[in-house]
Homo-oligomer: A and B are copies of this chain.
Amino acid sequence: MGRVWRRGEDGDWSGVTPADYAGGAERHTIIGRADGATQVELRYFRMPPGTASSRERHAHEHTIVVLEGTAEIQLGSETHLVRPGDAVFVAAAETHRIRSVGEDPLGFLCTAPVARRRGVEGLLGD
């Protein structure tokens, strides 16, 4: 069954418990397997200023939309500065890393297929 999640004043979603993620980030799984999703998972990551994700490379693709803050994102050999509203496609097997480079926390939406290899850092990261 479908469902609605409200975003609160604190920027969190009703009923979503943030999980600690590598590098000091929080992962909020807004829509995932626990909600009956079988195709696409929707997550939100919040990264304090100065933090970075681990360098990852995996078979699944990401679509990303920045909601708050400023990110420096590495895609293969290129680096891009992205801001709220900007979108990023991370292709399969493309090395990527995200840094929170603004004065405020970085917050971004990030999709991943529900069916993917999970829980392995680095070459097969999340």
Contacts and interface: CB of A to CB of B under 8 A. Distances in A.
Contact of A40 (B31, B80, B111): B111
B89 A37 contact: yes
Interface stretch (A4-12, A19-27, A48-56): A4-12
A87 B90 CA distance: 22
Contacts of A13: 87
Interface residues of A, number: 43
Nearest to A82: B4
A91 to B, nearest CB: 5
Contacts of A94: 1-2
B7 A89 contact: no
Max count, chain B CB within 10 A of own CB: residue among A6, A35, A63, A84: A63
Given A6-B85, A40-B40, A65-B109, 15 more contacts: A1-B76, A2-B75, A2-B76, A2-B90, A3-B89, A5-B87, A11-B85, A30-B87, A38-B92, A39-B60, A41-B63, A42-B65, A42-B87, A42-B89, A109-B109
Interface of A: 1-7, 11, 13, 30-31, 35-42, 60-61, 63, 65, 73, 75-76, 80, 82, 84-92, 94, 96, 109, 111-113
